[in-house]
Structure 1
């Protein structure tokens, strides 16, 4: 028998002028509220988005400083004017907008600070590619917040602008439909003549139901402007709510497109009233914290034990650093590690710097899972990432030079199974330099250890000592394979040390 509520909803859709308030609407609203409350409760236990650094595929660094809203609302419960004013059932408010601490600023630009907050879509166009406001799209409530680079800081004038609009719709289905339409508009950018797609990036994990980032560029009206306009649009759906985040700036054609990945994920959490990844929750056990699940710094490789990158002189050697949020652990990583469902994660990152540039990177992540089946499923997922190497969303297309091979016999730590692959991707200098990355995933009981080790060379790889190889470089020490294995052994041994 068909659902009578569905038939009633269809009748109401066919007769929009009918003055009816259905039981289904009330029931749906209650379901939304209950689902959102569950999302807020469970968001804490969702694995945090990977705040680890990797190869130079994505660009982003620095978290924003706290600012003051120059136009505070009289009440956080005030709903938007216009189409959303009649939505008395909505519990969306200004508190569901992202804050400075949720946003990531591209290096070398300063942190984002709040400029203005609106009830509704605002009085001006916030995205050149969207011809319809969220209010016009049927939102019950809408709020908007604009950000600028911290005034007075270096490069503040060149950073452009960033804004976020959040809206609530009558159902999750309606929110999904609107988000699809907005994403299509962001790609095609009908509001601008001659716009060209510069890159796309998915937004997934945590509270996000669906999401994408689309970046377009187009010529400015001012012929003296020595750059093109870039508009990056992140559209994220979470239950019955939609987030639109827009970054606009002038860029040269060699600058990597804006990503907005971490900022959009954090803003999605804030939109549903959950704690964004990386922000402390009231109960430390809810985040799957290292202390609660057994992982600690003892499970991470010690930089002093890493073999030297002897092709390059460095005053610091391997230096541990705070990574940027928008870069994955492995070059061939398809999604954030949070999508794997680990109950806890620890990570460390090291770099080898000369007086001119960074020439080596080591990234390690150790993930603990509820049981061995979950760990095995995550291992298989990572294997697929390594085989397909899908990390080409922004035009950087790593090449898998060899499919993963079993290396269990070579690792004295004794994992249940392990696999290695190699990928290459270009450096940022625009010349012949290439990053040569070796990637490892090792499984032991409920734990996975991931290692990404990359060296800058090119166009030939670091020397392997094969004199018959046309890329053989007699002036380079024959230690690249030894470095790879030594780093992998040390990382896996530390990662599972408490399980043996």
Structure 2
């Protein structure tokens, strides 16, 4: 499950929730189809991100013509940070470059810190996949800032490098065109021999007119290295400005691709000099509706199933059992989501994730979301939209392409309290251990008056599915007597019972 590959970016961000799509959305969906035909999937969004054991580091950061000493850069950053979120400046300045406050360091790496800041784009190439710089593309003004993981911290040497380049163009239309061209170049990565596309993500926000993140990998020149190069390129157009953010690192092939989602969105707001929305996160891989707490007083924690109410995953020993945790940026409620749940137009939402951990790995995941709508018509329209997601399941945002093994079927008779409508689907996607492990996911959407309850349950098994309890099944294993279908239904019932507890 976790994956967009973010899975949730894979699985939550494909189609619009409104009747009419924006120009950026139309372009993004077209790009997704085009990219899918030539993508070589190398990483799974369902993967649990693994730390690089014995990291191989072969990264370096160049210094441009007008590099700034890191000691000076700290004082500049402090001044810029206070000014960047004020009124939009009349021209691009260094204040529009992202700071370390905008950047998110993915676990287990330490926080990013500034290393150098440049007037212009520097003299060394900052992204080997791009055939043109912003200046070459027509930007009148450009600036660049380089970042490194906090020196001396654990895993700092494995984090790689990150840089951001911003440019201002004559018009918003020109900026958007340049961003699309650069995104295409990042996907093809013609400047590197043997580069393969590891995944793509859309980047969206109130100030963004066009944006994508494209990740490629390729073999290093040194054949004895036990890692591959990964280059993640985020390209965002906002008003008449373009941001190019590049992260480069050495990784093993089982490590999930870099996303840069939150960092790119935060940087886009700073790019145009406005404050991000007041939501907890402006990352489009994080649904902006608050989770786990009431919105408009309608939903609350009581609508979320307790971890102790979920049936045990007996075939995997766990000292903790089911453990509730805060939803993470790359994990959707349903593997086959094509859009963020916020696009469905709910007036309130609560959500929670649960995991079953052994001493070696996570082997089970439950994702629950409860959505309240303004009326039954809005709830019905949202149900139909989710049904379409489950039927189509294109979900290929971060390199995972789930195989829909069973299209939705009615399960109303199996659920307590009589939902107006309910449907279930199943999808599979590879695990992250490089063996034959597979995530088997069951997805449920149930409609009750003005409310939807969504449940995604994934269990690690493979190549056979989890035990069905049927001795005639070729995959039946006597040492796994538990019943997978029964466990699925018990999880769905527990989640739905809590989700509609106040409606009874």
Q: Smaller-chain TM-score range?
A: 0.7 to 0.9
Which SS does the other structure have where 1:293 is aligned? Answer: coil
> By how many angstroms is 1:106 displaced?
3.3
1:482 is aligned to 2:486: yes
Is 2:254–2:433's contact at 8 Å kept on the other side of the alignment? Answer: no
Question: Structure 2 matches for 1:345-494, cutoff 5 A?
Answer: 345-494=349-498
1:320 Cα deviation from its structure 2 partner: 1.4
Cα distance in structure 2, aligned partners of 1:146 and 1:371: 50
Question: Residue 237 of structure 1 corresponds to which residue in structure 2?
Answer: 237
Aligned partners of 1:103 and 1:261: how far apart in 2? 9
Q: CA deviation at 1:125?
A: 2.4
Q: Is the 8 A contact 1:128 1:191 kept in 2?
A: yes
2:16 alignment counterpart: none
Counterparts in 2 of 1:204 and 1:126: CA distance versus 1, 3 Å: same
Q: CA 1:226 to 1:302, structure 2 compared with 1: closer, same or farther past 3 Å?
A: closer
CA distance in 2, matches of 1:206, 1:495: 31
Q: What is the CA-CA distance between 1:69 and the residue it aligns to?
A: 4.8
Matching residue within 291, 314, 322 for 1:318: 322
Please list every run of 5 or more consecutive structure 2 residues that lacks an aligned counterpart in the other structure.
1-43, 52-70, 283-287
Aligned mates of 2:264, 2:78 — CA distance in 1: 27
1:58–1:327 contact (8 Å) kept in structure 2: no
Taking structure 1 as reference, are residues 428 and 253 closer, same or farther at Cα in structure 2, changes over 3 Å only?
Answer: closer
Are positions 1:293 and 2:288 aligned together?
no
When residues 480 and 380 of structure 1 are mapped into structure 2, their CA distance, relative to the original with a 3 A threshold, is same
Deviations 1:88-135 (A, max 9, x none): 983544454434344333333223233334444345322112232223
Shift of residue 303, structure 1, vs aligned partner? 0.9
* Distance in 1 (alpha carbons) for counterparts of 2:486 and 2:121: 58
1:438 shift after superposition: 0.7
Offset of residue 445 of structure 1: 3.3
Partner of 1:337: 341
State whether residues 129 and 186 of structure 1, in contact with CA within 8 Å, keep that contact through their aligned partners in structure 2: yes
Give, in whole Å, the separation in 2 of the partners of 1:374 and 1:122.
52
Aligned partners of 1:151 and 1:474: how far apart in 2?
52
User: 1:470 deviation in Å?
Assistant: 0.9
**8 Å contact 1:59–1:326 — kept in the other structure?**
no
**Aligned-pair CA distance for 1:160:** 0.6
- 1:261 CA displacement: 2.8
What is the RMSD computed on CA atoms of the aligned residues?
3.2
Residues 50 and 255 in structure 2, CA contact (< 8 A), matched pair in contact too: no
The number of equivalent residue pairs is 429
The 1:220–1:288 alpha-carbon spacing in structure 2 relative to 1, beyond 3 Å, is closer
Partner deviation per Cα, 1:207-235 (whole Å, 9 max, x = no partner):
43222222223343455544332211111
Partner residue in 1 for 2:19: none
* Higher normalized contact order (CA 8 Å, seq sep 6+, divided by chain length): 2
- Look up the match of 2:46: 56
| Aligned positions of 1:143-154 closer than 5 A | 143-154=143-154
Matches within 5 A, 1:277-288: 278-279=279-280
Q: CA deviation at 1:496?
A: 2.8
Q: Is the 8 A contact 1:407 1:419 kept in 2?
A: yes
2:13 maps to which residue? none
The answer to whether the Cα contact below 8 Å between 2:295 and 2:347 also exists between their aligned partners in 1 is no
Asked if 2 retains the 8 angstrom alpha-carbon contact of 1:60 and 1:104, the reply is no
Q: Are the structure 2 counterparts of residues 384 and 102 from structure 1 closer, same or farther at C-alpha, using a change threshold of 3 Å?
A: farther
Match of 2:128 in 1: 128
Alpha-carbon distance change, 137 to 390 in structure 1, aligned in 2, over 3 angstroms: same
CA contact (8 A) 1:195 1:217 kept: yes
The offset of 1:198, in angstroms, is 2.9
CA contact (8 A) 2:305 2:495 kept: yes
Once the two structures are TM-superposed, the CA of residue 421 in structure 1 deviates from its matched residue by 0.7
Shift of residue 260, structure 1, vs aligned partner: 2.1
Q: Tell me by how many angstroms 1:452 deviates.
A: 1.0
Q: Deviations over 1:132-173 (max 9, x none)?
A: 222332334434332211221222112111122333333221
| Cα distance in 2 for residues equivalent to 1:110 and 1:89 | 32
Contact 1:55–1:454 (CA under 8 A) maintained in structure 2: no
**Offset, 1:57:** 4.5
| Contact 1:241/1:271 (8 A) holds in 2 | yes
Judging changes above 3 Å, is the alpha-carbon distance between structure 1 residues 226 and 385 closer, same or farther for their aligned structure 2 residues? same
1:156 corresponding residue in structure 2: 156
Q: Residue 337 of structure 1: CA displacement?
A: 2.7
Distance in 1 between the 2:452 and 2:223 partners? 54
Query: Highest Rg: 1 or 2?
Result: 1
Verify the 8 A CA contact 1:186 1:214 in the aligned structure 2: yes
Kindly tell me: are residues 371 and 483 of structure 1, through their superposed partners in 2, closer, same or farther at Cα, counting changes over 3 Å? same
Alignment check: 8 A CA contact 2:169 2:175 kept: yes
1:12-27 aligned within 5 A? none
Displacement of 1:370 after TM fit? 4.0
Show CA shifts across 1:247-276 (max 9, x none). Answer: 111223443332223332333344342425
Instruction: Tell me if the contact between 1:405 and 1:420 (Cα under 8 Å) persists in the aligned partners.
Output: yes
Residue 306 in structure 1 maps to residue 310 in structure 2: yes
Task: Answer whether contact 2:45 2:399 (CA < 8 A) is retained.
Answer: no
Quote the Cα distance in structure 1 between the aligned partners of 2:437 and 2:281.
40
